[in-house]
Amino acid sequence: MLYKGSAPASEPEVAALKKLLEGLYGTYSVETSTPAPKDRNGTYIHLHSYSNLVLYPYGFDNSAKVPNSDALRAGAFRQSHGNDYATGAPGDVLYNASGGDFDWVYRKLGVPGYVYEIGTGEEGGFFPGFQRADNYWKKVGPASASLPRPRTSRTPPRSAEPSPSSRLNVRTTVRSP
């Protein structure tokens, strides 16, 4: 999500994600002198391709002051331990990019936000094949397993059988390039 739109949350997909995340985490505005509280629960991870990086806020300007910078940086390095991903703010290891969701999640919700840039050019670059998902998960799964989760679950209860109206028939065709 790097297209920032014509206004904040102007795109329907972004508006839906915003509503979901605000419902899950609530809001807490982080300012330059008001860091997120240490007991703020949850962590946000955005998987993106490609480069094998773990990025932390701020992405829009690496010279912007991040109140919890030491904690965010330490969290990012814990996540890159064992997978050899380069780690840093986007402007330090890649380039500045405005409109990133992980900046918004940190700044408006007070939740640590990270981006995993996964894969290499040899693994499909920006369009890796789905068959690579298991390999990527072996690298990012263990790192993300130790991160704080939201304290409450908003998962709806499961019924024994889906209702006929909730069933979805999907036909897929996989073609090799």
CB burial string 111-146: b at 16+ within 10 A, e below: bbbbbbbbbeeeebeeebeeeeeeebeebbeebeee
- Based on the residue annotation, tell me whether 117 is a catalytic residue of this protein: yes
Pairwise CA distance, residues 75 & 160, whole Å: 39
Token output for 28: 């807490």
Strand-strand pairing, 44-48 and 86-88: unpaired
* Kind of pairing between the strands at 86-88 and 113-117: unpaired
CA dihedral 49, 29, 151, 87 (to 10 degrees): 30
- Catalytic choice (13, 117, 123, 161): 117
List, by residue number, the catalytic residues. 117
